[in-house]
Structure 1
């Protein structure tokens, strides 16, 4: 019998050409039609199993194969084909002979006896509905003339002991009870978008109606896994057709859809409200019993127990497979089973609490709380209450209040799966007020929501749209952001202030949606670091950068090239660009790439103030272009990081010319690990001594300046008006003589050095002693000092503590990776506890014993 939930009968589907081949994933060969996959598999293997959920097209496919076999169009390999349905096997009585068994099945027209078992095919549809024990360890037989039990006979056929060489084609839901059979397994994917499109076009004769119905389906329900089920598509199209004919609004959520389905089914049955309520309660009791018992199939006695056997509505919800006396029953739809369960709770006048009801079923259901949440909103249940009367308001209020408390508590936590569940519940409610009430400032919406399902992103997008604005959307480590996902999330991206897409990969179409969302939205920060962007994707991204509110863009290690920089130029040069921070760290853009960027940086419209170019395969060849940028009146650059590039002495000489230009605005320059030597120091000295040099921060770490080069830099820093506040000279081959000059600079208070890093210069206690003395000087304004790995010992601790006590400005001290031992721990603890201005001392990786850790724990300002 054809029903809304059960789908159209296979023969009708085939005759009306509504059938579209479902897809299967088989041995990583991609997506092929199920008929093709079965035909191929039967040529390669004796036993083929097709596994798929309810309504996925298994039976329809077998019917089509069988009908085509009758016409001689398929299955030509086999002279004899026998077709059995799993439920029909239950009506067979023991004992039974093999010959009698064959008479019970449908068969292709054939003549003559079986002479070659290799030309025989047995088809078992819905084998999981067979109630007989199919365990080969219990019974197998090989004598075709000996009557035996149905269990033994079917098991022997499956295992090949009864008809060696015969082929088996069986369909089943995924079930461990049949794992003993060596077989090829085809897993159904169901309808993907192309198949759904074809199905809707065939169902609705009017092309415009079909297009509109499909578009609505895809945007409201197409993201659910169940949307791949042909049966579900049939159900949706049937309900859409009724609603369109009556001029009603199509449903926006799963709850609204099932409200319409249940209302449609009840409208067909002449029950009064009381009788309808009793039926729904009885169906709910059946649904609960099946769910808690994990029963997919059940017997007639269960219907009798719940008073449903003769109910006129029963066949609309439950399918009977087999002859009446031995039929196996199952729900047409697991979704409807859970929906009925939710409705019955709100209809049932008994006093079971919401908490106990939900707790009892939570491990056995998937959508129960989702449906209950949807039913809490009055507008979602109006049509249902026309047939059932008002649902229990007290239970609804209890559930709604509990839901809001649950969501508020969950969203303060750090579990993204729990967050998603709350988003789904709020989505079903469709209430802006509830969303805004639940999501308080304490909600941690900054969690990484990477690698969620499409359906989760739909719910997240709904929440974001109700809020109107999000501080951050974090999709960190999304393994593949598909075009479909990006399309769903585009509105959320547009209302997010910060977007984190670190370590992500993308489909090309996804980047197009991202660019469009940036163009339309309010996003100010975008982190794409360590994400793989091919040339096409990056070019697409740049189209959205020309006219957006983005202020910070992190493209670190995105496999960009010099061509990528060419794509960036129009965006950076646009008069609508707001970008002030750009990071290209770890990309092989090379000199040609920087040359292209410099073209944009000279534009009067460019607003970039911070440029991160460390590890970008740059050489001295591109430094003259950057120097020209610094000299141009249009450059806004305040901070440039060139670390870990082969800039060399020649490159620094070119940069130095720009640094002393009157129009230069650069305040921070990092040249760490740039293969510099003493040879570049005269040019640097000249730049620092210029009255126009605006530098306040300079990092020259990991270069081979040596004593003479460093002394030249110190002399330059003595220049009146020098602005340097932060200086990095880590691992620069400095000597004690240089430390004497640095100490003198600190005592002068000019330049106003606030941060000095001189670690990894092995000058020992004697060298660093000069800095401890400088810290005591009243003119010293140093706030941070790094002397890591300078060969300090316990001998320096007394001077160090005296310096800390005397200094009025020092806040942070790095002395890790030295040789200070346990004997100095009490002094370190005391000086940090007594110092009002010291915030942190790092003493990690010194020669402390484990027994000192408990003592260090008494002072939270020490990192050990």
Structure 2
């Protein structure tokens, strides 16, 4: 009771008022929140107004908060700060045994060494104080909000492996927007260490990945709060949140794990962390921000928490399990850095996906009080595919709500933003116009501050840094005190944190804001110097020294070339913003804020034509997608409109498309609001285009599709080369591939089998009916079925000349423990009674997953059917559907089947015996048994 009273007193009046409210657990933002100032904390630090996220009744969804980049840590005693540890979806179920609700009233438990349960309660209470509130509002008002009141579950999925996607993070978001929920295995954040049904592996280390701003850190924070309140995961006694951005500040320190924990958590000094007394969870948030040398090949082995070593060696030994092997480990990271931890050290990989489609709307309805205005904003965002896709990122929803709510509610003049550049430019203006605090007199002009921030943004973008430190700020002429209080520009776009009095860490609210400022700097403040001239020295310092002047068109050309050469597309968004800022409409918006500096006359058409030229030259339509986004930023949709006309008139099959038109078709299909879960090749092939050519040209679309239908299209083994690359793509979305009635031959099937073996392949259904497959192709497929990465559930090989050898080879694959095949179709494949022997032997294997076997049109005879009947009696056989149409079965075979049906167990539910030489008495024998032995469908 004492603990509860203490907690109640420690919560601010505002939080207490909200916690006593009858309102739902997710409070919408005030409609005027975009104009509020951040909270002023000790040491001049500010909280960014980033506590906006919509709530949703859908459980597998998202947090109204973005991720830690949207929140400032709270200043605690001894200089400690809470990092915005936040991103994971909630669950009504506890992953562990819950404490009783009245546990706070129990008497302290005496542990060895004199410790009591009160020590743990104090630790728990301190964490709750640190993470329970998120701050929003002006510095003078102060408006801390309980996390529980604004949190909505994030959509989190379990991944098969720690696969790395090197695309730009916005491109990953665009890809994820096309995925259906049925492709994923959802997992609740509070069950993060709990195995899923039918998983018997223990989970010690979890890696959670997700793009910047998607909600990783907010989930971590919610996990901690639920634990500290006694709601979830109560088998864990201690949770140690150790964000990498704070650990970075101790990279030169040598100390023991006990000392490290004492530095962060002074109340642990008397605790024996190494004993079995405590079950411990370490949370390492922000692996992508790590500046420590995590060398997992190191020979340094630490087993004692009192042994001293460097911080990176301590972390490595913790993660590997040398130190505290029973401790749980949770690591969060952006995708690009997820492979810094070896896969063998990770027991579960999860991914935060951000807002689902329903939650996008839910966010705006919750955060904007005027529902009519919310509807208008939602409709506007849906009208722009590029903006609507970006709404998967919670931070972007906050930016859009800030801009559109102000523009539409105040009836401001000017065009409502339809492109990313317009949206971010309006956001910059709104933040810059926020008034200074009354008692603060700034000495820095808006233009100068934007120049300095832009320089910092560009330099850190070139280096690939999302976070930076005091020395980085000083190099760009930024005074941290000025930055922390200057208008809304720095406090809402730019944020800082302090950790352990060791130093300060800085970052922009989101990567896209950094990219926009970097483009702004390149466009307005560099006098058209050649930003892309490669030198041995620092790119930025060299170009500033050279002061090499070029025209804006030439600068765009070099930026386009540089972006196309990037393997991971890290300049894609920068390029979009750069070309978008060249439009007169965007320059007009910024004219009062930024004075143009010697800008030469600019002809937009030169940039448009150069981009179209690159689209024509680029052999990969996939790499051209961002160039089409750039054309959209420039207001040129001529290529896309041309393709839309072809699609609408259904003349696409008869049209000989140029390479640029093929690229435009890819872009239109991938950005269409119509779902492309099913790709049908026949819509695009005709007299002008062969199947193999279309597969190559539309490969990016095929890679994004769940089902690819290529039935009777004239596909050859040449087309199989490209289809194999789709099976191997990362991430792989393809679940069904129908190639029936194509002349693939064994060569084509071998290629596909290689794709099935790939670790990224998730194909579940493969249709190869009438594809001229022989025993050679069967050998390749059997090898794929034995692969430990095989996800194949259904295989159709009907109307192929497999004969006895081919069936024997397939049977070897079916026996393997890695094979998960549930449906096998071998109708009209020349299967004989002899081949049935190998097949039935395979289906007796343990485990055998096969539930449906189609042997229609094969000359099995009674000998083959007797073997199948013996199989049905076997306890390992779980066959539910058996097709024996036109298989030469007589009364003798029918009697064997009847005997098998009487056996226990027999799981058979459907039996097809049409087209066989059965007498009336045979039919009656089986018909009389139908209801008594569980047979649901019997065909004669």
Asked which structure has the greater RCO (Cα within 8 Å, sep 6+), the reply is 2
- Structure with higher Rg: it is 1
* TM superposition score normalised by structure 2: 0.46
* TM superposition score normalised by structure 1: 0.49
